[in-house]
Each structure stands twice: as C-alpha cells, then as structure tokens.
A and B are shown apart, each in its own frame.
Chain A
Amino acid sequence: METLFANWHHLSFGDGGWGWNLLRGLSSTLQIALGAYFLGLVIGLLGAVGKRDGSRLTRYLLEIYTTLIRAIPELVLILLLYYAGTGLVNQLMESMGYRPIDISGLVAGIVVLGIVQGAYSIEVIRGAMRVVPRGQLEAAEAFGMGRWMILRRITLPAMLPHALPGLSNLWLIVTKETALLSVVGFSELALTTRQAAGASRAYFMFFLVAACLYLCVSLLSNELFRRLEKRARRGQPELN
C-alpha cells in the first residue's frame, strides 16, 4: 500500500511532475473526440438521407461502408485508414508536383475516427428518421416546402428525441476510442499516461488516474445529454 501512494509527487504540476502533460493529453483527447464526433454526424446525416432517398448504387455503396466498418475491429481500421490515408494524400501531392507534407496527428485522428463514427451515426440517424410520421412530411410538402427545408424544419427536430440516446452512446464511444490513437503514436491521454507510467515506474497509479479522468468525462457527458434529451422532449410524455 505504501508503495502505491508514495508516488503522488509524480502528479504534481511543478518540476518533474506529469500534471500538465496529463492535462494536455486530456485536451487532445477531447479535441479529437469533438472533431470526430461532428465529422461523424455530418457523414451520418448525409448517409442516412442517402440510404433513404438515394439511387440504388448510392444505397449499395453506403451498405458496404456501414457493414465493413462495423465488422472490422477499430484498431485495424485505424491503422488501415491512417496509413492508407496519409499515403494517398502524399501520393496525390507528389503527382501534382508538390513535396509530401507531414499530416498533423490531430487532423489524421479526427478524420480516421470520424469515418468510423460515420458508419454508426448513419444507422442511429436512419432509425430515428423512420419514426417521423409520414403525414407530417406530406403536410410539409403540401405547404410547398422544398426537400432541404423539410429536413431542416420537420425531420430533424422531430427525430431528435429518438436519436439522442443513440447519439449520446456514440459520443461516449468516441471519447473512449481516442485511446486507440495511442497505437499510431498520437499523444492523447492514453499515450501520455503510458509514457508517464514508464518514466516514473508508477504504472498502477498513472493508469488509475487516467481511468478517473476518462470516467469524469463520461459522467459529465451523461449529465449533459440527459439535459439535452429533456429539452428535446419538452411537451412530450416522460419516458420511464
């Protein structure tokens, strides 16, 4: 027990302490998670509309995308997308006569996780869209609203209460998935923790602290989404 708690000084924010490094790691984690989440939402919205109204080819391609992403482990996907993505961009740059660029870990992380999130978002949003009554859409059409306006004014607000539980899950998943980026060497919270643990030999304490930080993020997000859902459901009967 004494060995467990004799090394609190490693967490300090002063000289030789890892406090600031951990907070910087946490901030990278949150930046990536937010970026990937919103990229995923955009893909999800476009994909859900595409799966509903798209041509046969569009629907077929989207089906392949969602199936592949959901069947292959995230770790493998991240490596594949990371290497293939940076490789492709640099080949493109070279073929256009530019020098290869160094793609920032932040952008690569956001794009890679965003593509993974997108597949799940499509399914969540598609499911929620199905709940919107047909009559409401027909009424909007009868009033002369265009497709874009119907989406913005009717479909999105009406489906939101049904989509929020799924979207809240996706947010919790993406905050945890950022940890996988440590495998490609992006220094978010997990990798920073591992470096701190290795340097100080205080493995147990550092991983415990990291777990607590992730847990705080999850608990805060839960509360936030609970309020959002309450607001989106205002005027509707309570769920139990």
Chain B
Amino acid sequence: MQWAWVAEYFPNFIDGIVITLKMLGLSIAIGMALAIPIGLVQVTGPRWLAMLARAFCTIIRGTPLLIQLWLLYYGLGSLFPLVPEIRNSFLWPLLRDAFPYAVLAFSLSVAGYEGEIMRGAFKGVPKGELEAARAFGMSRFTLLRRIWLPRALQNVLPTLAGEFVLTLKATPLAATITVFDVYGVGTLVRQETYRVYEPLLVVAGIYLCLTALIVLFFRWLEQRIPRPA
C-alpha cells in the first residue's frame, strides 16, 4: 500500500465532495418537489393523471438507473445537436455539460421512488382530520396546504434519511458520463497512479463519512420536529 499520492490529490477530492453534495442536494430537492404532486394525483387526481403517475413510478422503479442515465446523456444528448434551434439557444452550453443530465436522472429517480411513498403518506392521513377541516369550511387548497401536506410530510420524514443515503450511493454512476464527483476523482487517481486499491479505499471512506453525516443530521432533525401523538 502506498499513500504518497493522497497529498497531491487532496484538492481534487475536496472538489469531488462538493460536486457530489451538489448533485445530492439538487436531486433530492427537485425529486421531492416532483414526488408530492405524483403522490397526490394518485390519491385524489383524475383517473388518467393517476394512471400516468403510476406508470411513471413503475418505469422508474423497473429500469436500472444506469440505463436511465445513459438514455438521457447519450440518447437525448445525441438528438439535441440535430435540432439547430437548440444548438443556437442559450441552453446549449448547459446541454453539452454532463452535470445537468446527472441531476435530471437522479431527480426523476427520487421522484419515482418517493412518489410511491408519498402516495402511501397521503393515504395514511386520518380521514377524520380531513373531514374536520372540510367541516370548518376550508377550501380544497387550504386543506391541502394546512392539513394534508404537513401531515403526509411528517409521515415520510423517517424514510427521507434512507432516500438521502440511497441517492448518495447512486451518485457515483454520474462518473460514467464524465462528471468528476468523489468516485470520478478516484477513477482519475487510479488511472494516473496505477494504484488499484488505495484510491478505492479512500473513496469508500469518504462515502462512509458522508453517510454517517446524513444519518446523524436526520437523527438531530427528528428530535427537533414534533411527532404526531
């Protein structure tokens, strides 16, 4: 085992951690924002919309994330240049970069898995509470904003820590489309130093620390948020 390379690549790993955390944060934020309507329409929406949401969840959960990622980056990415309007638009620099594709793929994945969980959470809110709110004359939207959504979110909070860890564990896939996250930096080190195990062990160690941080953060958060009686 040789560790002399660690000092040289230390800044790269810091950059990698920043990129990994950026991907994680953006994907969870966008994914959860999508998951709420996807869960809601399955409980209360019109039939066709509910079916659409259901199909989306089935497709996301039934295909490997790696294939979804490659379909977006190599597949869609190879179609965009064929359209001159896109090529000349302000979006083009963004569409040439791999990072947005990675965030999009992970967001859709979070939306698919968490959408299914949100469906259960919306269903799990006691009927009596919703009827009481209606009896007080709350409109549908007020009811959703004041009672239904907060109660559902409270129910999914414990699963959210797991979702963060799962998404963190999925982020290394982005390195296969040239994003230099923690794993990508590890691959770079392996290619440049010809060491096999040491960079992998460092990468594994970094992910272990990040996982531990997520778990500790959620333990702290759960103590601060009042639980339903």
Report which A residues bind B (CB closer than 8 A): 3-4, 68, 70-77, 79-80, 83-84, 87, 172, 176-180, 182-183, 190, 193-194, 197, 201, 203-205, 207-208, 210-211, 214-215, 218-219
- A80:B211 contact, CB within 8 angstroms: no
The interface residues of chain B, by DSSP majority, are classed as helix
- Map CB proximity to A onto B164-207 as digits: 1 under 8 Å, 0 otherwise: 01001111110110000001001000000000110011011001
Contacts A3-B82, A179-B64 given: A207-B71 contact, CB under 8 Å?
yes
Complex contacts, B66 vs chain A, CB 8 Å:
179-180, 182, 190
Is B44 part of the binding interface, using a Cβ–Cβ cutoff of 8 Å?
A: no
- Map CB proximity to A onto B53-67 as digits: 1 under 8 Å, 0 otherwise: 000001101111111
Is B216 part of the binding interface, using a Cβ–Cβ cutoff of 8 Å?
A: no
Contacts A201-B78, A203-B78 given: A73-B62 contact, CB under 8 Å?
no
User: How near does chain B come to A190, taking the closest CB pair, in angstroms?
Assistant: 6
- A73:B75 contact, CB within 8 angstroms: no
A166 to B176, CA, bound (A): 30
Q: Name the contact of B75 in the complex, choosing from A74, A75, A204 (C-beta under 8 A).
A: A204
A205 to B75, CA, bound (A): 7
Complex contacts, A75 vs chain B, CB 8 Å:
172-173, 175, 183
The 8 closest A-B pairs by CB, nearest first: A218-B62, A204-B75, A207-B71, A179-B64, A176-B64, A71-B211, A73-B169, A203-B74
- B169:A74 contact, CB within 8 angstroms: yes
A70 to B162, CA, bound (A): 11
A27 to B71, CA, bound (A): 21
- A83:B197 contact, CB within 8 angstroms: yes
- A176:B65 contact, CB within 8 angstroms: yes
- B62:A214 contact, CB within 8 angstroms: yes
The B54-107 residues at the A interface (CB cut-off 8 A) are 58-59, 61-68, 70-71, 74-79, 82
Smallest Cβ-Cβ distance to A214: which chain B residue: B63
Instruction: Given A74-B169, A190-B66, A218-B62, output 9 extra A-B contacts at Cβ < 8 Å.
Output: A73-B168, A80-B197, A177-B64, A180-B173, A193-B67, A204-B74, A205-B75, A211-B68, A211-B71
- A172:B173 contact, CB within 8 angstroms: no
Q: Name the contact of A76 in the complex, choosing from B62, B78, B183 (C-beta under 8 A).
A: B183
Complex contacts, B63 vs chain A, CB 8 Å:
176, 211, 214-215, 218
Contacts A76-B172, A194-B70 given: A204-B76 contact, CB under 8 Å?
yes
18 A-B pairs within 8 Å (CB atoms) are namely A3-B79, A71-B212, A72-B169, A72-B204, A72-B208, A75-B172, A75-B183, A76-B207, A79-B200, A80-B204, A83-B200, A84-B197, A176-B63, A177-B64, A179-B66, A180-B64, A182-B66, A218-B58
